[in-house]
Amino acid sequence: MLVLEAKLKGKQSQYNSIDEAIRTALFIRNKALRHWLDNKDVGKNDLQKLCAVLAAYFDFADKLNSMARQASADRAWIAIKRFYDNCKAKKPGKKGFPRFKKRGHSVEYKTSGWKLSNDRKYMLFSDGFNIGRLKLVGTRDLSFYAIKQIKRIRIVKRADGYYCQFCVDVEHKEQHQHNGKQIGIDVGLEFFYTDSDGKTVENPRLLRKYEKSLKRKQRKASKCKKGSSNRRKAVRKLAKRHLKVSRQRKDFAVKTARTLVQSNDMVVYEDLQVRNMVKNHHLAKSISDASWSLFTEWVDYYAKIFDTWAIAVAPHYTSLDCSVCGTRVKKSLSTRTHKCHSCGTVMHRDHNAAKQILAKGIKNTVGHTEINASGQNNLYLGGETPLDKLTG
């Protein structure tokens, strides 16, 4: 499934109708969650049937397209199923019990309630909210796909406007020149990551870069009277600045992950529990700004696209064990140089960890036929490229 996005341009009355549709979708989602809490043995089909009951009882719920109501109930079921799965897997810590939401930011349509123009420049929404016809800005990629391939439409509200997301049913694959190269990476705060060859990528520290501007806008918003138009304007400017930082962070993660996967046949990284690491209040802001989880998610994604390997290994003792002799050298977090008293190896702490991570990844895969990120089970390690890859 491929997700394409375009910005929506329309009148203020149309934006108000979109807001009403988003609030209705949130209402149905919370009602579905309440139905699950108040009754036993409630399944996905029960939540789907509840949508028709809500439409008959509430006039504003009846305005929303029937499939959009079902999509809102599906969101509640996704949260419920995630909670069930975490409980069955005995996931440590919080299991993610479903919660009610106060604010909604999107509404999703399936295959009805919308119509895309033939030139892919306009979108028409035809449910009871009378959203009408809106212009799409940035739809160049939509021209490559048939309308029947679009399975879902999602309207998303952000600080700088409204966007339309298209879920396209298409298999996304790209050619990759396999070279048999394997690499391990150690993410950190001094450098964004250090690989097993000793190369580093600088940490952009985007939040720190805009921190003074964010604090200034935050102070200005807090000084305005609650409910005033000046406060709404100040909050909007603050939200736009946060959105810009978020987009820059995602752009950096996507481009860095793509470059890394394109250059190697196997990438090994640590399976870090970031939610536990941010409990350290001295490092929480810097860890959150680095967005390691976002980066590794895109590494996994591009491994599927380019038909390569992305392997996550346990992070235990990767920074302490010597990558040459295996001796465990105890060191504090502030010690940035690895000095082995057994074999005399001296190198940067992150470089040693990256080599240890790569060794773990190779040890976990050699001798086993496992499924890689792209679903293939033809393991090729040790620098050898299989014959079927030479023709690619």
Q: What is the pLDDT of residues 348-371, one digit of tens each?
A: 999 999 999 999 888 887 644 333
Give the CA distances from residue 9 to residues 5, 136, 197, 228, 291, in Å, rounded to whole numbers and listed in that order. 13, 6, 48, 26, 31
- Name the 3-class secondary structure at 372: coil
Q: Decide which of 168, 191, 215 is a domain's last residue.
A: 168
Sign of CA dihedral 94, 311, 305, 287: positive
Per-residue pLDDT for 243 more than 50? yes
Look over the chain and give the mean of its residue pLDDT values, rounded to a whole number.
Answer: 87
Question: Angle at the Cα of 334 (from 314 to 328), degrees rounded to 5?
Answer: 45
Residue 225 lies in a domain: no
- SS3 state of residue 207: helix
Do 196 and 119 belong together in one domain?
no
**296 and 338, same structural domain?**
yes
163 shares its domain with 269: no
User: Of 168, 191, 225, which residue sits at a domain end?
Assistant: 168
Whether the pLDDT of residue 335 is over 90: the answer is: no
In a domain, 373, yes or no: yes
Please indicate, yes or no, if residue 186 is contained in any of the structural domains.
yes
Cα 186 to Cα 118: distance, rounded to the nearest angstrom: 48
Same domain assignment for residues 117 and 194: no
Domain check: are 125 and 197 in the same one? no
377 and 262 within one domain: yes
pLDDT at 380: 30
Residue 7 neighbours by CB under 8 Å, 6+ apart: 136, 137, 138, 161, 162, 163, 164
Cα angle 67-68-72, degrees, rounded to a multiple of 5:
115
264-276: per-residue pLDDT in tens?
999 999 998 888 8
pLDDT in tens, 176-208: 888 888 999 999 999 999 998 989 999 999 999
Provide the token pair at 252: 């950096």
Q: What is the DSSP letter of 225?
A: P
Residue 160 lies in a domain: yes
Q: Note whether residue 212 is domain-resident.
A: no
Residue matched to tokens 């019990």: 97
For the chain, what is the largest distance between any 2 Cα atoms, rounded to a whole number of angstroms? Answer: 77
214 domain residue, yes or no? no
Same domain, 274 and 385: yes
Q: How far apart are CA 141 and CA 131, in angstroms?
A: 24
β-bridge partners, 365: none
Residues 344, 197, single domain; the answer is: yes
Domain boundary among 143, 168, 193: 168
Q: What is the mean pLDDT of residues 266-290?
A: 89
What pTM, to 2 d.p., does this model score? Answer: 0.84
Any domain includes 16: yes
Domain check: are 26 and 146 in the same one?
yes
Measure the CA–CA gap between 211 and 209, rounded to whole angstroms: 6
CA atoms of 379 and 279, how far apart (whole Å): 38
Q: What is the pLDDT of residue 366?
A: 62
26 and 92: one domain? Answer: yes
**Whole-number CA gyration radius for the chain:** 25
Helices 66-88 and 12-38: crossing angle in degrees, nearest 10, is 40
Question: Which sign does the torsion angle of CA 374, 377, 381, 384 carry?
Answer: negative
Q: For strands 266-270 and 182-187, give the pairing.
A: parallel
Sign of the alpha-carbon torsion through 62, 66, 70, 72: negative
Counting the structural domains of the chain, the total is 2
Whether 58 and 149 share a structural domain: yes
Indicate whether 142 and 6 sit together in one domain: yes
Residue 365 lies in domain? 182-202+257-390
pLDDT tens digits, one per residue of 300-324: 999 999 989 999 999 888 888 888 8
Sign of CA dihedral 212, 218, 224, 228: positive
Residue 247 domain flag: no
